[in-house]
């Protein structure tokens, strides 16, 4: 018991130090970057407002959500706080400006996060189609993966094509150089990451897992995650030189040996530092590699930061 208590005291001390590191950096470095003062007039149509004919896919900073379809997961006040990473529905996230979705599924096509499940993936497809019907030039990246510890849904690749076929942008490395206008009326890049089923191939309606990469680390310490994100980002080629999307997740993860196990108070430790991360990507000379930035509990300011930098890139200011 004494050893466990000492460990908790030490962890709280480490956490306090890490919080202070980022808070002090925010004060000294600020949060300015090219486009940081930009506010989209309409988040629902922010790509259209930037200009579909002049916005290339590799220029976009994609605002993404982590575990996107967990707004209704588990039992309220009992199991939900341990698995919920978003409070908005898929449709609400898209209207807010989210342009990359992270969907985890199990064998029966239910969305899940670990051992907890929620609604059918059909709800996700329905929300996406509703959003696409209400907009004209917004492009989405839809990542669907079989959750760890689960089996692939049978013939799921065919099912996705049945549901979204008319909107799917087919697997083609040339997409990264194209403008949004070049891709229309197709508007969804769907990345399918099965556990055991054959992965998509070049030319298929779906894209393989290698087209969306990241370097996730399992930590609840904000400065440790922040520094790891910068380091791994620095190891990537610039967006103009690569043929895959690279994701930075501005999130931290509850740890089993910590008294705080609910997602929201833990991920809040890093959530407020998204603009600081963009600022520091410029300070460290790696901003030309930044492409997908994902978060838990997405809000308008996070979207605005991503859109602002996208705008600056299009205008040649970044």
Taking only the tens place, the pLDDT of each residue in 173-203 is 999 999 999 999 999 999 999 999 999 999 9
Burial 159-178 (b: 16+ CB within 10 A, else e): ebbebbeebbbbbeeebbee
Q: Where are the domains of the chain?
A: 11-315
| Predicted TM-score (pTM) of this structure | 0.96
Instruction: Output the CA torsion sign for 214, 266, 144, 173.
Output: negative
Half-sphere exposure of 315 (CA within 13 A, CB side): 11
Please report which residue ranges of 173-273 form alpha helices under DSSP H: 180-183, 222-234, 263-271
Report the C-alpha gap between 151 and 19 in whole angstroms. Answer: 38
- Is residue 308 within 8 Å of residue 37, measured between CB atoms? yes
CA dihedral 300, 304, 305, 306 (to 10 degrees): 110
pLDDT at 5: 63
Rg from Cα positions in the chain? 19
Residue among 118, 3, 130 at smallest CA distance from 72: 118
pLDDT at 39: 97
pLDDT at 132 over 80: yes
pLDDT at 305 over 90: yes
53, exposed or middle or buried, with CB in 10 Å at 0-12, 13-18, 19+? exposed
Taking only the tens place, the pLDDT of each residue in 189-238 is 999 999 999 999 999 999 999 999 999 999 999 999 999 999 999 999 99
pLDDT at 259 over 80: no
pLDDT at 3: 63
274, exposed or middle or buried, with CB in 10 Å at 0-12, 13-18, 19+? buried
pLDDT at 2 over 70: no
Domain 11-315, CATH? 3.20.20.190
pLDDT at 159: 98
pLDDT at 192: 98
Report the C-alpha gap between 304 and 46 in whole angstroms. Answer: 9
């Amino acid at each position: 018991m004494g050893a466990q208590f000492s460990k908790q005291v030490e962890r709280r001390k480490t956490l306090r130090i890490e919080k202070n590191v980022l808070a002090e950096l925010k004060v000294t470095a600020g949060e300015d970057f090219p486009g940081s003062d930009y506010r989209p007039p309409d988040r629902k149509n922010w790509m259209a407002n930037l200009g579909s004919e002049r916005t290339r896919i590799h220029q976009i900073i994609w605002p993404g959500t982590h575990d996107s379809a967990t707004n209704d997961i588990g039992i309220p006040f009992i199991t939900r706080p341990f698995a919920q990473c978003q409070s908005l529905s898929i449709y609400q996230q898209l209207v807010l400006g989210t342009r990359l979705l992270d969907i985890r599924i199990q064998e029966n096509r239910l969305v899940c996060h670990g051992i907890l499940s929620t609604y059918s993936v059909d709800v996700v497809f329905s929300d996406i189609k509703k959003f696409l019907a209400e907009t004209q030039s917004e492009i989405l990246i839809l990542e669907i993966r079989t959750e760890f510890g689960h089996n692939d849904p049978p013939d799921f690749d065919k099912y996705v094509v049945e549901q979204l076929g008319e909107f799917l942008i087919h697997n083609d490395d040339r997409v990264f150089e194209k403008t949004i206008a070049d891709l229309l009326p197709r508007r969804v890049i769907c990345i399918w990451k099965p556990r055991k089923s054959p992965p998509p191939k070049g030319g298929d309606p779906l894209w393989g897992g290698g087209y969306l990469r990241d370097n996730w680390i399992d930590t609840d310490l904000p400065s440790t995650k922040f520094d790891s994100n910068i380091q791994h980002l620095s190891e990537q080629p610039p967006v103009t030189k690569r043929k895959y999307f690279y994701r930075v997740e501005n999130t931290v993860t509850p740890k089993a040996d910590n008294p705080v196990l609910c997602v929201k108070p833990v991920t809040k430790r890093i959530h407020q530092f998204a603009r600081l991360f963009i600022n520091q990507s410029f300070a460290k000379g790696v901003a030309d590699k930044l492409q997908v930035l994902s978060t838990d509990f997405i809000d308008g300011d996070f979207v605005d930061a991503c859109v602002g930098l996208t705008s600056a890139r299009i205008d040649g200011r970044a």
